[in-house]
């Protein structure tokens, strides 16, 4: 007899989770999905359309996760699905170059011209890993500066004091990273120019790169203070180090030209390297590293830095990304921004009505809520401040929303992702769910 699970074993989230835990570590293939921070049973999703997701039990939710960023247009946009179908019909993977890759890269370059040359990979992790390798090869130096609470994927060198799932699980750092690798990463508090200056004063000639989330959203949304990114640009430049702006999350989500369009373009500066992901794959695995021509020329087969991928530039995935970017015009960003403003306003009103001190921090259409009097008074500008917020209020808040058919991120340390498909009826459902959720947060007791 085969040991295959039958479909009937998996028709509820509870049953599926039980089975999943028996065969997949923690029952999930990416830690934050396990609901570890908020408790309860993760919903096993069966389908997603527009602003909605439906679980295997048949419950429908308005989705505020959006696949953690890619679903800018909403789920299963008909034109994207058609592009995928069409590409799939021509073959799933060739391991040879395709025209779609060139078109996708051209679309990205058009939006962010400082990404003069671009290499496509499959995940954001690969993109940041490659960016580091390039920076080290180009500068002949070893040290890398990152900021506490920033998440750049699960690259060994970048897991120290990382955000996202690492923050969600309260892990200080990951096990399995060798001391030698960890010693090459300098972790600094975010938004403090003086500490970056001090690090350069002490180690300047050994620093290959500073990597930063262009506008951090993996410890909740903690935007850069005005001038902070420009200071990183100035300091890296004057010490011969590279600046890597990680736009895996912000790229083509917060605007037509990503965070660069909102800040660097206006202020007249650019990074040496950029990493992109999420939206550029439209829900399929595509990410990219791009930047200065002379730095990118280090990559094989032109230069000595090796990097490759069996599925890099996959024809179906690049078709999804290209279709998504071509649809993501300025009208789409206006729409997504308007949805975000409306939700922020309603969320704030619900929390104020409960008298719950809080701050809602935002960057473009990304936002998240921090509870507590300190957060309300001074905001949360770095990871230490984020960890001092009353994040224990989030679990009851989250579960109240979930019961009302609203699927918020299952962690207080993640941004809320809205989409162009969040129409009035989707918004109405969220707005009606907010009062009870705010009440649950306000009456929560510290565990």
| Nearest partner of 142 among 187, 181, 197, 173, judged by Cα | 181
Please tell me which residue in 272, 278, 333, 382 is annotated as part of the active site: 278
| Nearest partner of 173 among 195, 144, 199, 148, judged by Cα | 148
Should residue 287 be labelled a site residue for ligand PLP when binding is judged by CB under 6 A? yes
For ligand PLP, the binding residues in 118-147 under the rule CB under 6 A are 123-125, 128
Please tell me which residue in 52, 61, 146, 151 is annotated as part of the active site: 151
Q: Which helix (H) or strand (E) holds 230?
A: helix 228-238
Contact of 280 with 104, CB cutoff 8 Å: yes
| 423: annotated active-site residue | no
Chain center to CA of 230: 22
| 342: annotated active-site residue | no
Contact of 83 with 311, CB cutoff 8 Å: no
Classify residue 166 by burial, with Cβ atoms within 10 Å: 0-12, 13-18, 19+: buried
Pattern 57-76, ligand PLP, x by CB under 6 A: -----------x--------
Q: Which of 213, 263, 272, 390 binds ligand PLP (CB under 6 A)?
A: 213
Please tell me which residue in 55, 63, 246, 382 is annotated as part of the active site: 246
Structure tokens that stand for 233 in this block: 């640009």
Should residue 248 be labelled a site residue for ligand PLP when binding is judged by CB under 6 A? yes
Q: Which of 151, 367, 407, 413 binds ligand PLP (CB under 6 A)?
A: 151
Should residue 245 be labelled a site residue for ligand PLP when binding is judged by CB under 6 A? no
Rounded to the nearest 10 degrees, how much is the dihedral formed by the CA atoms of 96, 102, 108, 113?
120
Pattern 397-436, ligand PLP, x by CB under 6 A: ----------------------------------------
Instruction: Provide DSSP, 19-83.
Output: HHHHHSGGGSSSGGGG-TTT-SPPPPEEEEEBTEEEETTS-EEEESSGGGTT-TT-BT-HHHHHH
Structure tokens that stand for 389 in this block: 């917020």
Q: Tell the smallest beta-carbon distance from residue 413 to ligand PLP (Å).
A: 11
Should residue 277 be labelled a site residue for ligand PLP when binding is judged by CB under 6 A? yes
With CB under 6 A as the rule, give the number of residues binding ligand PLP. 16
Pattern 217-236, ligand PLP, x by CB under 6 A: -x------------------
| 407: annotated active-site residue | no
Q: Tell the smallest beta-carbon distance from residue 69 to ligand PLP (Å).
A: 7
Q: How far apart are CA 102 and CA 445, in angstroms?
A: 54
Q: With respect to ligand PLP, which residue has the nearer C-beta, 111 or 393?
A: 111
CA separation (Å) from 21 to 5, 236, 272? 13, 45, 43
Q: In what order do the strands lie in the sheet with 52-55?
A: 45-49, 52-55, 60-63, 406-407
Q: Which of 33, 136, 152, 399 binds ligand PLP (CB under 6 A)?
A: 152
Q: With respect to ligand PLP, which residue has the nearer C-beta, 213 or 382?
A: 213
Q: How far apart are CA 109 and CA 92, in angstroms?
A: 25
Q: Tell the smallest beta-carbon distance from residue 440 to ligand PLP (Å).
A: 27
Should residue 164 be labelled a site residue for ligand PLP when binding is judged by CB under 6 A? yes
Should residue 324 be labelled a site residue for ligand PLP when binding is judged by CB under 6 A? no
- Known catalytic residues are 151, 246, 278
Contact footprint for ligand PLP (CB under 6 A)? 68, 123-125, 128, 151-153, 164, 213, 218, 246, 248-249, 277, 287
């Amino acid at each position: 007899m085969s040991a295959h699970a039958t479909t009937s074993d998996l028709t509820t989230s509870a049953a599926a989770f039980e089975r999943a835990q028996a065969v997949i570590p923690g029952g999930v293939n990416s830690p934050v999905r396990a609901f570890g921070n908020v408790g309860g049973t993760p919903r096993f999703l069966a389908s997603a359309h527009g602003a909605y997701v439906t679980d295997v039990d048949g419950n429908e939710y308005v989705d505020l996760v959006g696949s953690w960023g890619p679903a800018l247009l909403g789920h299963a946009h008909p034109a994207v699905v058609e592009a995928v179908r069409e590409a799939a019909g021509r073959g799933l993977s060739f391991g040879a170059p395709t025209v779609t890759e060139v078109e996708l890269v051209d679309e990205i370059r058009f939006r962010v011209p400082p990404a003069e040359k671009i290499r496509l990979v499959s995940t954001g992790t690969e993109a940041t890993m490659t960016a580091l390798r390039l920076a080290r090869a180009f500068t002949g130096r070893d040290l890398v500066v990152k900021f506490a609470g920033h998440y750049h994927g699960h690259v060994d060198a970048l897991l120290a004091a990382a955000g996202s799932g690492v923050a969600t699980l309260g892990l200080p750092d990951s096990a399995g990273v060798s001391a030698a690798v960890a010693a090459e990463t300098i972790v600094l508090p975010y938004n403090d120019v003086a500490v970056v200056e001090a690090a350069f004063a002490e180690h300047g000639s050994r620093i290959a790169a500073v990597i930063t989330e262009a506008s951090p959203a993996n410890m909740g949304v903690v935007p850069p203070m005005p001038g902070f990114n420009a200071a990183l640009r100035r300091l890296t430049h004057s010490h011969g180090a590279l600046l890597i702006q990680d736009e895996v999350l912000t790229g083509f989500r917060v605007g037509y030209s990503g965070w660069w369009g909102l800040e660097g373009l206006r202020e007249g500066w650019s990074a040496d390297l950029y990493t992109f992901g999420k939206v550029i794959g439209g829900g399929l695995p595509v990410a990219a590293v791009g930047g200065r021509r002379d730095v990118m020329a280090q990559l094989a087969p032109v230069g000595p830095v090796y990097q490759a991928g069996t599925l890099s530039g996959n024809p179906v995935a690049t078709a999804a990304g290209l279709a998504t970017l071509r649809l993501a015009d300025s009208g789409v960003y206006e729409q997504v921004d308007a949805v975000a403003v409306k939700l922020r306003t309603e969320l704030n009103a619900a929390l104020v009505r409960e008298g719950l001190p809080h701050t809602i921090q935002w960057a473009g259409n990304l936002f998240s809520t921090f509870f507590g009097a300190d957060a309300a008074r001074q905001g949360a500008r770095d990871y230490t401040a984020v960890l001092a917020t009353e994040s224990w209020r989030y679990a009851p808040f989250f579960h109240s929303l979930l019961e009302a058919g609203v699927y918020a991120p299952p962690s207080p340390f993640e941004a809320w992702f809205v989409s162009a498909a969040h129409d009035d009826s989707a918004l109405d459902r969220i707005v009606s769910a907010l009062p009870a959720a705010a009440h649950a947060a306000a009456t929560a007791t510290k565990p």
